[in-house]
Chains A and B, each alone.
Chain A
């Protein structure tokens, strides 16, 4: 499913304006340990985390992730948003906890296949 359709279906708030949301999302990864994401995420993953600082954008760029979903109502830091807009990394926010939102993503066909 396209990133924008997932966001609409699951009611996420888009935090980065003017970024393309057409990417087809097939896989995802969830972790709050940045080194773990760097090691185990794959290109195109949607990353679910509750880390909010600037380094998450660096990870998304390095791993070519399709986007970042902040769980549990976490708000991105202002400099995170600024850099995400510049680097065209979509950041979303949901009030649901990670476990819930990952379950819903799985039901919509997004898996953790490596």
Chain B
């Protein structure tokens, strides 16, 4: 996958397949520590202990563990390619937390991609699920929560096309404002 937003979409779809009613997506960009962290946390049915050790094995997961798919092993590879790592924490019946760490300024780190489109697809395709998206860049935060949106929208559903447009635009302008999705040192070459 060429963009992190595609990985995030994939992992969040695992969460939905596991029956989650709430999915929290958090991204931290830490410039001083040259670190980018992605966390996807859900309240789905979780992964049984004996399966948890195998979820990142592409040969096992693609065949036997249907709800998990190939996504985790691809994300693991993407993280390790740029000196990062992947952790999966899960408790049966409680939920799963996937944490991927990347070196922020690594040439082989995939760019963030279109988080507006990813969140738009997730929210409008699953209007009954609660989504949280929080993105932090050195202490500055952008956030979007469907619970709050529902209160404001009233009778308009989260699957209304106008909501999809709002989500995409709000995320794009919000991320720009906090200076997200950068490769600060690499960009110095282009000054």
Interface residues of A (CB under 8 A from B): 33-35, 38, 51-55, 57-59, 61-62, 83, 86-87
Contacts and interface: CB of A to CB of B under 8 A. Distances in A.
A62 B189 contact: yes
Contacts of B183: 54-55, 58
Nearest to B3: A53
A51 B107 CA distance: 12
Nearest to A32: B2
A35 B190 contact: no
B2 A55 contact: no
A71 to B, nearest CB: 13
Interface in B93-114: 106-108, 111
B116 to A, nearest CB: 14
B2 A58 contact: no
Nearest to B82: A35
A28 to B, nearest CB: 19
Contact of A53 (B81, B111, B189, B190): B111
B190 A54 contact: yes
B51 to A, nearest CB: 31
Given A51-B2, A55-B183, A34 B190 contact: no
A87 B107 contact: no
